[in-house]
Structure 1
Amino acid sequence: MTAAEALEEVRRRQAAEGEWLGDATQGRPTFAEAELLDRQGIPSCHVWLVPEREVPSHLSATQALRRWQAGACAMCSAAGGRLLVDHCHQTGLVRGLLCTSCNTAEGLQSAPSFVAYRERPPAVILGVEEMYGSPWGEVIAPSDASPEERIQRNAAHVDAAEALFAGITDRFRPTA
């Protein structure tokens, strides 16, 4: 593919994404408005406009969520910060993108808004599905994985972490 063809493909994809999203990222509740929704048991994403068209085929589920959420947390509408990929630990499926605070709270909360978010997360709203992947590029197996699969997966994580931090920790070891 030539540079001109690649540039044209990028433009085509951007146009398809623009058509898909339309005005769906406009009129989102502010953080203060999202707090009021939360008190009523409603996650912010439940009042966002939903694109009328199907997700463009070149987008993964997580990419579609990133475009639709446009930098806003699905729970509190906070924007401008880092969004984490939230996933269900039982099924392994990506649910949506949450700010650090909401992602931490999601695992600990049984508040009505978090229950509503789990029942109808952004991925369900958009009609997309994707397995959550680990930082090492592997897909996280659902909790019904066999004990052998869990042991192998955990061993791989330990090996990867040790390899990643080996150079760092060696600097802190006393020399003889």
Structure 2
Amino acid sequence: MIAKQDEKLNRILEELTHMRRKMVEADNENKAKMKDMAETIEKQSTIIMQHQLFMEQMDRQMRETNLVLFGVPDEQVALDGTTTEDAKIQKVMSAVEAGPELVVRSHKRLGQHIQGSNRPRPLLVKVASKSMRDKVLEKTTSLKNMPEPYKRIYIKKDSHPEVRKE
């Protein structure tokens, strides 16, 4: 009877030892998998960071010739006798003495028109080169000393759309 109990006890101990070994093996295997996953995540994180930097650089290059004009009256309101966006831009650029070499490639209004609001939406203007943009930005302070329609207009270089929203 004691021999049978000893035999059962030995089997239980062997089974317990076997189970412990299996747990240690599984734990080691899990640690190895976690280490591999951490290395993979680190590599992917580095790649994503490089892509993000590249995309930001491209975005900056795309915006480097952009100007944002604030305070230029919207479509139906005239600015110094002009009603078209092109003519308004030309009036503002001549007011800051941007020069005849200034080439405006395109323009568009930013944001949604709000019914009942008399606040003009910003005007995004793309010029031909960064040097032209910088030349205009250098002369924007002259708008502060001009008569009323131009006094309320100010010009900034374009920023990222998320920064613009803030």
For normalisation by structure 2, the TM-score amounts to 0.23
Larger Rg: 2
Bigger fraction of residues in helix: 2
- Between the two structures, name the one with larger relative contact order (CA 8 Å, sep ≥ 6): 2
